[in-house]
Structure 1
Amino acid sequence: MSGSAGEAPLGLLVMAYGTPQTLDEVEPYYTHIRHGRPPTPELLQELVERYRAIGGRSPLHEITEEQARKLAARLSERLGRPVQPFVGYLHIAPFIAEAVDRLVAAGVERAVGLVMAPQYSAASVALYLNDAREALARYQQAPAVTYIDHFHDHPGFVACLARRVRDTLEQVPADIRPRVEVIFTAHSIPQHVIDRGDPYDRHVRETAERVARAAGLDRWHVAYQSAGRTSDVWIGPDVGDVIRELAGRGAAGVVVCPAGFVADHLEVLYDIDIECKQIADELGIYLARTPSLNAADDFIDVLADVVMDRLGETRHEAAAGGGAPAGEGEPGR
């Protein structure tokens, strides 16, 4: 696909979970997650306190906007045509439908829709796609949109995570490094979704297996985190339980790689950096986390590769090189 700067821009619809920008926005945000049911005062206060613990807000919006800008620029360079980014969120403004409205108003004739989640699930990624398709359906002459609903096994994505795992392990004190094990985590989802044949757990495990192989790991595990506060059974094992089990078996520490996330947000900055660290400290073992992908150049190259693949312009530049080392869900996702 080639073109000139004079043609209509390619639209880049980047979709992410969203996060409140202020503590006052936590209640409407949480209510939206709960499908219009306000949280109890206790649940609301707990979530507010989690945001306070990471400085009062999550950086997810700024990171997502930077990811979109950098990806659009990278794609424009490769395609030789303008690429215009539009960012929309699932649970807070600007919502996905608002981003679609801006995309249509800009005169875009063709677009790519990218959900910022590596592994597909009907309980997560499908919700973003449904919102985008419903918004587009309101227009008689909607642009053609090509959607990307997973990239969990893309060689460049695997290489990005493997680099960060290796770099983090190299920073572990040498005397305990042989007894440090790696835990790959992703957001938990309700078990009944998996029981209906959803590929999410398989995608997560495929990511972990490929990254472990690329990083040369002998000891690694898959765990889930941040299960919602509902009556449903959520998939496990829980990362806290895995940390306790490994400590009981003699591990000197763990490196946590949040392979289901692509940016710093509450579930990384609180659930891993604070909650998991507290568990490790209580057990007297070491804990480190791999750096989030955020808007690092090597990850932007991966996303550009993924988009080029879907557009029929396959050039895997990210998987081939080293790249510089450098993932928002909330409770109830």
Structure 2
Amino acid sequence: MALRTTPLAQLCKRATLSSSSASTLTWPANSSSWRRNNATVAPPVTQDSTGSKGPTAMVFMNMGGPSTTDEVGDFLSRLFADKDLIPLGRLQNYLGPLIARRRTPKIQKQYAEIGGGSPIRKWSEYQAAEMCKILDKISPETAPHKPYVAFRYADPLTEEMYTKLIADGFGAGKGGRAVAFTQYPQYSCSTTGSSLNELWKWRNRLEGKRATGEVDPEGAIKWSVIDRWPVHPGLVEAFARNIEATLATYPEERRDKVILLFSAHSLPMSVVNRGDPYPAEVGATVHAVMHRIGMQHPYRLVWQSQVGPQPWLGAQTSDTVENLIKKGQTDIILIPIAFTSDHIETLYELDKEIIGEAGHEGVKRVESLNGNPVFIQALADIAKAHLDSGISCSPQMSLRCPGCVSERCAEQKKFFAGQVQHL
């Protein structure tokens, strides 16, 4: 959300897995082995004739956003209830709803200014569907690939997605495979970690010990995770082409001196000092993109959406733009490097608050990835490599932050890493 107006934007859209991450999940060869205790269990998910290991559910995970202004209140309530994202201590259950109610009118006005709601659901559903079309062609053995979206704070929520998976014939005694594909290219415990905690919670409630009495019941969905992909060549190429297209809009005599500001959502320093990998992975993306475009322009990595009085990762995007303009440097391109589609942070905070207030025609923003075909092909390539690899998550995901004290996080990581035994 807008940096100086609301904490709603805290820690949006980041993290994920490299092109070498993955897994290949199959059902038992002898289906009777998981029916032995229940003769009425439904048969496995129907196999597609083109895919001996299909169908495969591809679940896009993201923070989400309210599609209408009427949904803002519920969105904020869920956001401020999330201790992984906004830790408020023992008063979380009291302060969270209070902050959400007070912020709602202001945030509704901001969403009204960008068209009445966030476009992130539209783009997420489009990206997932288009990726699955490509996967059906390049990975026929795991086809058909069925797209799903699971948002952390907005519809469709993780619970809704999981219920739909079961209704569609995955899990609940029928077996089947699903891939949780985080849409935060760079991993943070506050984003990807929170989404996986939520997925793990609903797996336990709907298919795990709380539902069946078993920790790992037979016929449950077999999960794997694409948890980060900060330097995938397709992601880098998509960013690079968008930057080059924006550079081409400047007169040739000014082009080489345009300053590139890569802007990512900031983190509280308490999270950074705990050992969160997000700053390093964002930096890796920036470095890879700059190498792709030849290191020919001055650049910096800056951070947006700081909220409250506590120290946050800087320098702040808004302050940087303001200071550059004061020095007479008004040819600046903003690049939202940790987001995979437009949302409130790009359409309102960058476009209206920062670029709008700058008042200079030389301050511009590159187009977001949205429906970019290079980006969607990259998603398919990442998923294909994951499906072929036979691993359940990247080696990095199983390593906790050095300062982590969350047992929930530890158990979630243990669960997803342990899914490799089913692949």
Q: Which residue does the alignment assign to 2:128?
A: 68
Name the aligned partner's letter for residue 96 of structure 1: T
Q: Which residue does the alignment assign to 2:380?
A: 304
Contact 2:63 2:191 in 1 (8 A): no
Q: Secondary structure at the match of 2:164?
A: helix
Provide the rounded CA distance (Å) in 2 between the counterparts of 1:5 and 1:133. Answer: 31
2:50 maps to 1:5: yes
Provide the rounded CA distance (Å) in 2 between the counterparts of 1:94 and 1:250. Answer: 46
- Aligned-pair distance for 1:169? 0.5
Contact 1:30 1:38 in 2 (8 A): no
Q: Which residue does the alignment assign to 1:83?
A: 145
2:367 maps to 1:291: yes
Q: Quick one: higher RCO (CA 8 Å, sep 6+), 1 or 2?
A: 2
2:332 maps to 1:219: no
Name the aligned partner's letter for residue 28 of structure 1: D
- Aligned-pair distance for 1:74? 1.1
Q: Which residue does the alignment assign to 2:194?
A: 127
What TM-score do the two structures reach when normalised by structure 1? 0.87
- Aligned-pair distance for 1:208? 0.7
- Aligned-pair distance for 1:245? 2.4
Q: Which residue does the alignment assign to 1:240?
A: 318
Q: Secondary structure at the match of 1:176?
A: helix
Q: Secondary structure at the match of 1:222?
A: strand
2:132 maps to 1:39: no
Name the aligned partner's letter for residue 348 of structure 2: Y
2:56 maps to 1:21: no
Q: 1:139-177: per-residue Cα shift (whole Å, max 9, x none)?
A: 133211110111111111111111111111011233432
Name the aligned partner's letter for residue 189 of structure 2: A
Q: Secondary structure at the match of 1:97?
A: helix
Q: Secondary structure at the match of 2:229?
A: coil
RMSD across aligned C-alpha pairs, in angstroms? 2.1
- Aligned-pair distance for 1:123? 1.1
Contact 2:80 2:100 in 1 (8 A): no
Q: Secondary structure at the match of 1:311?
A: helix
Q: Which residue does the alignment assign to 1:254?
A: 332
Provide the rounded CA distance (Å) in 1 between the counterparts of 2:156 and 2:101. Answer: 26
Structure 2 unaligned blocks of 5 or more? 1-23, 27-47, 82-95, 171-175, 208-216, 391-423
Q: Which residue does the alignment assign to 2:179?
A: 112
Q: Which residue does the alignment assign to 1:95?
A: 157
Q: 1:88-123: per-residue Cα shift (whole Å, max 9, x none)?
A: 110022211221222233233111111111110011
Contact 2:57 2:178 in 1 (8 A): yes
Name the aligned partner's letter for residue 225 of structure 1: Q
Q: Mark the structure with the bigger radius of gyration.
A: 2
Q: When the two structures are aligned, how many residues end up with a matched partner?
A: 311
Q: Secondary structure at the match of 2:150?
A: strand
2:146 maps to 1:146: no
Aligned-pair identity (%): 31
Provide the rounded CA distance (Å) in 1 between the counterparts of 2:135 and 2:204. Answer: 26
Q: Which residue does the alignment assign to 1:54?
A: 114
